[in-house]
Structure 1
Amino acid sequence: MEKEPIIALDFPTWEDTEHFLQLFSNESLYVKVGMELYLQNGPAVIEKLKKMNHRIFLDLKLHDIPNTVQQAMKGLANLGVDMINVHAAGGEKMMAAAREGLEQGASGNRPLLLAVTQLTSTSEKQMHKEQLIPVSLEESVLHYAKLTKAAGCDGVVCSVHEAAAIREACGAEFLRVTPGIRLKEDEANDQQRIADPAGARALGSSMIVVGRSITKANKPVEAYQKVKQQWGEITHVK
């Protein structure tokens, strides 16, 4: 279990991001850079975060034909991020191509490669209606997780509610990175399948991603420490 929560830097500009990070007095954090920040500000954001000694999960959810994803990952590997992802709906060949691209482009150890199963904003009813997937949400997520492992990826992005079943099906070393984490007193917002940090720990998450509970808090540093304390109370969970 990763002891540090990953903070989702869901800001539109580098200035907003830098202002937030300055609150942490040069502490080394694990942060997530998603499409909002990366696509509006470019690779320079990654370089600046690395200079500040932060670990980085680049959350772009690539989903395209295998060759396109492979070439994109080959270029992204040069950024030196710690973890990156694709969407499992792209299929096993695409995910395997993503890993190959990372291995081709990385100057040292390649970034950890995850695949998104079902978004934590997606309900089972919505999946049935809009994706025409007739099985349960958990069955869909487990199918994607097994496909991800077969493709040679390191783990999946899933909700906490599927983490234990994925660990049983794919092994304890297969990562279960779970967004949709909220402190109990916070609103769910647009997330459907959520949990608090202690709940995520109990349900078998390997890593948690926390956004608005920290970034929108009145006292972000205190909120981060509260999340970190709840997440890390038991350190032997795998």
Structure 2
Amino acid sequence: MIIALDFPTPADALAFVRRFPHPEELFCKVGMELYYQGGTAIVQALQSLGVRVFLDLKLHDIPNTVESAGRIIGALGVALTTVHAQGGSVMMAAAKRGIRDGAAASGVAPAKILAITQLTSTSPTALRDEQQVAVPLPESVNHLAQLAATSGLDGVVSSAAEVARMQPGLPDDFLFITPGIRLANAVHDDQVRVMTPDAARRAGSRGIVVGRPITQAADPVAAYQHIKSLWEEPLNE
């Protein structure tokens, strides 16, 4: 389970992480807002506390630029990172090369790369009317997941609702990482396609990303433990 550190400043993020008695057990996501504030220093500060880092920058540019950015990300030794599948197969392959080369130069393990298919805030109406994509949302997600796999990526970030539809034809070790996780009866904020932790696991998600239900809780440590228990509880077959 991954905690989304959606804080405006590095100081806020580090203060939050230090509330946990064993930060070395945490896996945390650093997104655009926090990274643009703190840069590589916030990643390194978290790593110094033992935190595993998911650097979620959603790279989407021409292949040469993405490969260069990938070398920088690879050198950081983060566990996961992201690119947009809509950038195409050449761009995704360039990202993989850059991350591999950056990691090798720094003597660290290369980050696993996840593709962004469709954002969880994208509704079928937005897909049709704004992106002018004629196929249904699940079909668009399936296509982008297959494209990511054939481009050599390690998994996708996608709503749990689409995981079962994506699995056929994908590698057995392909990762399905699900954001948009909320507790039952919680406010959905700006996430359109959401699911509870236990439902996401039943749907086939390999990992979940949880932000506001933990970071905005009165007791974040208790909220984390509760959601983690829901995610890890045995499935009833």
TM-score grouping bracket, smaller chain normalisation: over 0.9
- Alpha-carbon distance in structure 2 between the residues aligned to 1:166 and 1:176: 9
- Correspondence 1:61 to 2:55: no
Match of 1:172 in 2: 172
Query: 15-24 or 140-149: which moved more?
Result: 15-24
| C-alpha contact 1:166 1:176 (8 A) present in aligned 2 | no
Q: Summarize deviations over 1:5-59 as a string: whole Å, max 9, x none.
A: 1000000111111221121113320000000100111110001000000001000
| C-alpha contact 2:10 2:37 (8 A) present in aligned 1 | no
- Alpha-carbon distance in structure 1 between the residues aligned to 2:188 and 2:98: 36
- Correspondence 1:135 to 2:135: yes
| Structure 1: runs of 5+ lacking an equivalent | none
Counting only pairs closer than 5 Å after superposition, residues 1-238 of structure 1 correspond to structure 2 as 5-28=1-24, 29-106=26-103, 107-234=107-234
Give the TM-score taking structure 1 as reference length. Answer: 0.95
- Alpha-carbon distance in structure 1 between the residues aligned to 2:236 and 2:92: 30
| C-alpha contact 2:114 2:153 (8 A) present in aligned 1 | yes
Structure 1 runs of 4+ off > 4 angstroms?
none
Q: Summarize deviations over 1:114-145 as a string: whole Å, max 9, x none.
A: 11000001001111011100111000000000
Aligned to 1:170, the other structure's residue is in SS state coil
Q: 1:215 to 1:149 in 2, by over 3 A?
A: same
| Structure 2: runs of 5+ lacking an equivalent | none
- 1:185 shift after superposition: 3.5
| C-alpha contact 2:202 2:235 (8 A) present in aligned 1 | no
Q: Summarize deviations over 1:169-214 as a string: whole Å, max 9, x none.
A: 3133111110000111421000000001001011010110000010
> Could you say which structure has the greater relative contact order, defined with CA pairs below 8 angstroms and 6 or more residues apart?
1
| C-alpha contact 1:115 1:157 (8 A) present in aligned 2 | yes
Give the TM-score taking structure 2 as reference length. Answer: 0.95
CA RMSD across the alignment: 1.4
Q: 1:109 to 1:236 in 2, by over 3 A?
A: farther
- Alpha-carbon distance in structure 1 between the residues aligned to 2:131 and 2:185: 32
- Alpha-carbon distance in structure 2 between the residues aligned to 1:164 and 1:210: 20
Query: 200-209 or 167-176: which moved more?
Result: 167-176
